[in-house]
Amino acid sequence: MNEPVTADWEQFVQALAQCLSELPSRATLIIAAPGNRYVQFMQYDIKLSAELAGDHYLTQPIPDAAAQELRDLGWNEPMLRREVDNWTRTMFWPISPRSLIEFARSVAIGFRDALGVATPVELRAMGWTEASGDLDLTVLGSMARRGWN
């Protein structure tokens, strides 16, 4: 844990921050790896929200040290009593470029340390808006594919 983000992950962080800065209102973006390991983003007029898969959906629970790391990075742990099964994080606009980078880095660390994704090559992305359908996710590179194949 707390290892430096590698070059592959750093490229992911930069691309994700750029993508999040360009999401239109009422957009949904899902980035996932096999095994139901995912982060889902919802863009609204005033806020950007994210959910990282919680233990309820995972075959391997998130290690305690990684759970603490998520808390330290600003993620809110699942509240099973309230039927919130995922880790959550919300930021309100305007969000500075630096804050978007930090947010994207917390997602990368969540994938790597909490969800056990070894490299961003395992990730696939898809997104849509209520108004116009599929999102252009080319900024995310090869992970931006329609469907999950």
pLDDT tens for each residue of 24-73: 999 999 999 999 999 999 999 999 999 999 998 888 999 999 999 999 99
Element housing 87 (H / E): strand 87-92
Residue 149 lies in a domain: no
Residue 1 lies in a domain: no
Full domain range(s) for residue 58: 7-143
Q: Is the pLDDT of residue 23 over 90?
A: yes
Q: Is beta strand 37-43 parallel, antiparallel or unpaired with respect to 47-52?
A: antiparallel
pLDDT at 149: 43
pTM of the model: 0.90
pLDDT at 132: 81
Total number of domains in the chain: 1
Selection from 119, 111, 2, 5 nearest residue 50 by Cα: 111
Q: Is the pLDDT of residue 112 over 60?
A: yes
Residue 109 lies in a domain: yes
